[in-house]
Amino acid sequence: MNLPIKIRFFAFLVTLFFFLVNTIMWGQLQIVAANTPYLINFDATVSGVNEGQYAGTGFTPNPTAGQLNSNAFATTGMSDGSSVFGGTNLIGDFARSTSFGNVITGGFYAFEVSLGNRAFGFQPGSSDFTPGSVTLRLQNQTGTTIETLRLSYTVYVRNDQGRSNNVNFSYSADNISFTQQPLLEIISPIAADGSPQWVAHTYTVIVGMEALANNDFYYLRWDSDDNGGSGSRDEFAIDDIQLTANPNDLVFSENGSLVFPLYHLNGTLQAGDDLLALNGSIDFNFGNVALGNITINPGAEVDFTNNLTLSGDVVNNGSLIFKSTTTNTAQLDVVPANSKLLGNVTIQRYI
């Protein structure tokens, strides 16, 4: 039976609508379970993010092997323009293919930072990515509110040129107003290394998400710009992005720095980890703690309710408090002879 043209056109619009809704809903990183790690390593498929091992062959909402999903990534700063969420960019700066490094042409690459290990890389140039940014979009599909996000990531730097560039991290609930964390800035040296190699810089940060409702989006951004020197620029790559929503505990790698923007801590740490308190209040209320270096920014507060064993230095420009209760008084336990303690400390005594 032949349907009237108006009915067929309406059916087409309905089909198109549901196709677009499905693309928007499922075309980025979906966080479907709390306290569950999601890893983007650019070597294995992640639904809504990348198809197979990244091959530096561009961005598209329907990726094939080697491509990134443009519903998950948006970029700015390349001479070929910006790439938007849901757009298609498969040539030029957006698809510079694979490389071990030592490239000159600006653009996005699949850099092989070690044998078989590819990362999402970029080569800045005079008109490419100076400045520029990469934004990762994720969506809360847990069925509940996300209060905090534990994020770990690695930035690789190949310092092969006589110009310095930086990489900064920021986050946003609306993709408009981003909060940047200066202590996470990575700066490549001006002087090139004699034998350039990929060097990893790994960070773990707790992001206070201000009650991200179910189905809402969140945005993580890495941006870069020139920072001094002259001539060509170093190469950079982002890898091993791991996210956990509403983690039950906090277990960190000893290889990374710990950065807490604002968080009430209730978990465990690896002995000897460094602590950088940016702002807000951090309450170590779960038992004895062993830390390396402690840096407390102005306006930040770090509280201990049990003993602290220190293996590094303390630089306190905020508030450091050892609490006292009816059953216990916190104290600074073992301090190495070469440790430096700078700033004031408040030691409470329950009476």
Asked if residue 261 has pLDDT above 50, the reply is no
What confidence score (pLDDT) does residue 326 get? Answer: 87
Give yes or no for residue 346 having a pLDDT over 60: yes
Mean pLDDT of the chain: 86
The most confident of the ranges 144-148, 188-192, 204-208, 292-296 is 188-192
Q: Which residues contact 141 (CB under 8 A, 6 or more apart)?
A: 30, 31, 32, 214, 215
User: CA separation (Å) from 237 to 56, 107, 118, 198, 246?
Assistant: 12, 12, 9, 9, 27
Residue 264 has pLDDT above 50, yes or no: no
Distance of CA 234 to the CA centre of its chain: 20
Q: What is the mean pLDDT of residues 183-189?
A: 90
Average confidence (pLDDT) over 18-42: 75
Q: Tell me the C-alpha distance between 96 and 90, whole Å.
A: 9
Q: Over pLDDT 90: what percentage of the chain? A: 64
Tell me what pLDDT residue 274 has.
79
User: Looking at per-residue confidence, does 184 or 265 come out higher?
Assistant: 184
What pLDDT sits at residue 207?
83
pLDDT of 212 over the 70 cut: yes
Q: Does the structure show a pLDDT above 80 at 237? A: yes
CA-CA-CA-CA torsion for 258, 201, 33, 135, nearest 10 degrees? 110
Cα distances (Å, whole numbers) of residue 252 to 27, 105, 135, 262: 29, 37, 24, 17
Q: Has residue 19 got a pLDDT over 80?
A: no
Strand pairing report for 73-78 and 132-140? antiparallel
pLDDT at 82 over 80: yes
Give me the pLDDT at residue 16, please.
39
Contact (CB, 8 A) for 304 and 323? yes
Task: Please report the pLDDT score of residue 284 as a whole number.
Answer: 80
pLDDT number for residue 269: 57
For residue 22, give the 3-state DSSP assignment: helix
- The answer to whether the beta carbons of residues 138 and 29 sit under 8 Å apart is yes
Amino acid at the residue 124: P
Query: Which residue(s) pair with 205 in the sheet?
Result: 151, 259
* pTM of the complete model: 0.74
